[in-house]
Amino acid sequence: MGGKMSGRNLIVYLNGNKTGILHESRSSALRFTYTDEAEAPISLAMPLNAVYGDEQTRAFFENLLPEGDLREMVAQAHRVSSNNPFSLLKEIGRDCAGAVVLGDDLLLNDTTSLQELFDVEQFVSKNDAILHYELGMRHSLAGAQFKTTVTIINDTYYIPSPFFPSTHIIKSANPRFQDLVANEFFCMTLARQIGLNVPNVSLLSSGSLVYLLVERFDRLIKSDKIERVHQEDFCQILGYLSSNKYEDEGGPRLIQIVKAIDRYSKQRAADLASLAKLIIFNYLMGNCDGHAKNLSMIHSSTGPYLAPFYDLVATSIYQGRSTRNATSINGVFDLESIDKAAIIKEFDQFGISGKRILALVLRDFKDIVSIGKEVARHKALEPYQATINLIIGNMSKRLDRLAKE
């Protein structure tokens, strides 16, 4: 029997170009097909001139969505199932990570004028996702933390739109961990001070609201025009769903990420060195959430490369939070059981001298404790000294452990 296959379709744009069709069958299976006009692939793992079935398609598109409670709230706001990626992306796929936009033929012709935000506190409060989507917002930002996006032009805040995509992420205080944004601000600022490539961050307030403002590295502002920069995380590159982002739940191992860098990066040596620094930094900070979704690659005209590092938080300081790492170090998951020998053996698997690269990283990090104490003096961190001192104290102990072994 002939005719069109039944189901639903969404147009997938990449950098404003009509690149493909995301199809959902009546049985909810997903398929992605490139259009004849496609100029670049949406994923390093999904080359042009091919049709992709449910497994590969779902891994890429599902990872564009929020996770956990935030996904549930978004689904409730739109009266769709939280287990249906297609339905969610149909509602909120206009401002995804990278340069992907999902919608209809008229989507990119939407030149609605920007709506200025006069009250950031009101915008971010009242149970984040519900308010934002009631206001008609259509962004999709992966991750489980309470956050939303804004467009900032000449220091003025606006609600994003398809024609004016977001430029910054706002992270508000987590109800269970009120100092989480200060924790992340400290870790991200310290990372920048010791030479890691991270986005610009600011710890700000609006009324009673304290929030972290993160500059998006997948956006460029040129003469008041906002350009999307394509990127994808390593769950997308390696074909894992967000529910499998942790290694001990069937997710990617570090060596798989290394092999992907080997295969795709235009600057393999520099990216592997940066990854090694990040691994040591996360260990020292006690960041046990360094999973594959918290690492990405930028697509550029000259070739892919490792994106700036993001979501750096000392997770282990919180009572009741697991000290089990998202990825193991030479098979060791427990943070406090990781030692110098395990790190060296892990680095050896990268095809580099583990002993040498660890020595180089520790040399670069030799002043990390004193630099951390300087960062802690930032005025915005004054109310959070107990938290910051705990992070610095733990960092110092772990650094001593590596130096003495």
pLDDT digit string, tens, across residues 157-210: 888 877 788 999 998 877 777 899 999 999 999 999 999 999 999 999 888 888
Model confidence over 218-227: pLDDT tens digits?
999 887 789 9
Calpha distance 92→178 (Å, rounded): 27
Residue for token pair 């670069």: 364
Residue 333, phi-psi category: left (phi > 0), alpha (psi -120 to 50), beta (remainder): alpha
pLDDT score of 200: 97
Q: Is 400 exposed, middle or buried (0-12, 13-18, 19+ CB in 10 A)?
A: exposed
E strand segments, 134-215: 147-153, 156-159, 168-172, 201-206, 209-215
Strands 156-159, 219-222: pairing kind = unpaired
CATH number of 234-404: 1.10.1070
Q: Under 8 Å CB-to-CB from 27, ≥6 apart: which residues?
A: none
pLDDT at residue 234 is higher than 90: yes
pLDDT score of 2: 44
For the segment 87-101, the average pLDDT, to the nearest whole number, is 90
Does this model's pTM top 0.85? My answer is: yes
For the segment 319-326, the average pLDDT, to the nearest whole number, is 83
For the segment 308-324, the average pLDDT, to the nearest whole number, is 89
For the segment 265-293, the average pLDDT, to the nearest whole number, is 96
pLDDT score of 45: 97
- Annotated catalytic residues are 289
Contact 275, 257 (CB under 8 A): yes
Length of the chain: 405
Model confidence over 54-76: pLDDT tens digits?
999 999 999 999 888 778 888 88
Least confident span in 109-118, 307-316, 358-367, 385-394: 109-118
